[in-house]
Amino acid sequence: MKEAMLYERLPDGRVRCNLCAHRCIIADGKKGVCQVRENRGGTLYSLVYGRVVARHSDPVEKKPLFHFYPGSTAYSVATPGCNFRCLWCQNWEISQMPREQHLVQGEQLSSEEIVAGAREAGCQSVAYTYTEPTIFFEYAYDTARLAHDAGLTNIYVTNGYMTGEMLELFSPYLDAANVDLKAFRDATYRKYVGARLTPVLDTMRTMKRLGIWLEVTTLVIPGINDDEQELQDAARFVADELGVGTPWHISRFFPAYKMTDVPPTPVETLERAREIGLATGLHYVYVGNVLGEVRTTCPGCGKVLLRRSGYRILENLIQPDGHCPFCGRKIDGVGMGVTSP
């Protein structure tokens, strides 16, 4: 256990956790919504510090980040737990482990060991992913600082339900994030996720303000968030509030966890969502979880600059300084013309 950051003591031995937007008020001996932060005698502790339940060297495209050092690899780590309870979670065995199995398991690894593993694997970055990284913030924060000192970048793959205080504290070390915009209706968040929409939107605005490279993913689920008006509203938010250069990933749903009775998303629905995003003015809209080549085109001249098959780079024509070789336009992103280490 490690004492938590970002909490305040209240009367009667209670504490208020200010790490995520739930801002749980936790009585002595109880845990927050995430089930991995516990009040013991008026002190809040993280139960997952250094408890790694998954770690892999992944293509950065798997996060998915298409405009952050394309072709590089990210040393990806997770601990058990999540502050959401998405009924379609693909990693529910580890994200819901503390809630459903009342277990907090994992291999004990120090931040130094994580950074050493990333360097040994030749990774460009360390990614905090698979489960919700906000719930293991103290561990991610300590690791991220060491990673930066070692010349690595840091990535959050997140549901976006953290507080502004957490982002302000982490921003000097957080280089990129992919935020999962699960729906654009508050009722959907409340019914299927156990959260609210507004804090997620606030997080993305804050990330942009702090200069964190941001990409957005929406898993399109039949009958849940595939209404064309809702997709238009989501695309409009990304374009107007985050900028037309913000990549939007439209991913295909496959049955999982407590939604095995819902069919996979028709590819036609995803293509229509992509058309909606482009019609809104977004420069980069990608269809995910579908076989086939994925292309990045120049918003200026329309030439194909980067081709991918799955997570593999087939061709990258973007110049080392990040500009289009045909018209000279700067392509949105970080390290767009830099090949993997």
Q: Using pLDDT thresholds of 50, 70 and 90, give the confidence band for residue 339.
A: low
Q: CB–CB of 335/69 below 8 Å?
A: yes
- Is pLDDT of 164 > 90? yes
What pLDDT shows up at residue 132? Answer: 97
Report the alpha-carbon distance of residue 39 to residue 46 in Å, rounded: 9
Question: Average pLDDT of 63-89?
Answer: 97
Whether the pLDDT of residue 294 is over 70: the answer is: yes
Residue with tokens 């489960």: 131
How confident is residue 165, by pLDDT bands cut at 50, 70 and 90?
very high
Count the residues in the chain.
Answer: 341
Q: What is the pLDDT of residue 82?
A: 97
Position 234: which residue type?
A: A
Are the CB atoms for 317 and 48 separated by under 8 Å?
no
Q: What's the token pair of residue 295?
A: 């292309």
Residue 255 structure tokens: 């049955």
Say whether pLDDT at 125 is over 50. yes
What is the pTM assigned to this prediction?
A: 0.96
Residue 222: burial class (beta carbons within 10 Å; 0-12, 13-18, 19+) = middle
Percentage of residues in the chain with pLDDT exceeding 70? 99
Report the chain's terminal Cα–Cα distance, integer Å: 36
Q: Around Cβ 148, how many Cβ atoms within 10 Å? A: 17
Domains of the chain: 2-46 (no CATH), 51-290 (3.20.20.70), 292-341 (no CATH)
Token digits for 311?
């997570």
pLDDT in tens, 191-240: 999 999 999 999 999 999 999 999 999 999 999 999 999 999 999 999 99
CA-CA-CA-CA torsion sign (189, 217, 137, 110): positive
Alpha carbon distance 166, 191 (integer Å): 26
Q: Is the pLDDT of residue 104 over 90?
A: no
pLDDT by residue (tens digit) across 295-329?
A: 999 999 999 999 999 899 999 999 999 999 999 99
For range 41-49, the mean pLDDT: 97
302 contacts: CB under 8 Å, gap ≥ 6: none
Confidence grade of residue 340 (pLDDT, cut at 50, 70, 90):
very low
C-beta of residue 252 within 8 angstroms of C-beta of residue 267: yes
Which residues lie closer than 8 Å to 87 by C-beta, 6 or more apart?
A: 192, 257, 258, 259
Q: Give the per-residue pLDDT at 36.
A: 97
The pLDDT of residue 338 is: 64
Whether the CA torsion 241, 245, 247, 250 is positive or negative: it is positive
Cα gap 134→159, rounded to integer Å: 9
* 134, 138, 142, 148 alpha-carbon torsion, rounded to 10°: 20
Evaluate if residue 19 carries a pLDDT over 60.
yes
> Residue 341 has what pLDDT?
38
Residue 252 one-letter amino acid: R
Q: Which residues of 245-270 are buried (b: 16+ CB within 10 A; e: fewer)?
A: ebbbbbbbbbeebebeebeebeeebb
Count of C-beta atoms within a 10 Å radius of residue 285: 19
Predicted confidence (pLDDT) per residue in 277-289, tens digit: 999 999 999 999 9
Q: What 8-state DSSP symbol labels residue 19?
A: S
Query: 34 with 20: CB under 8 angstroms?
Result: yes
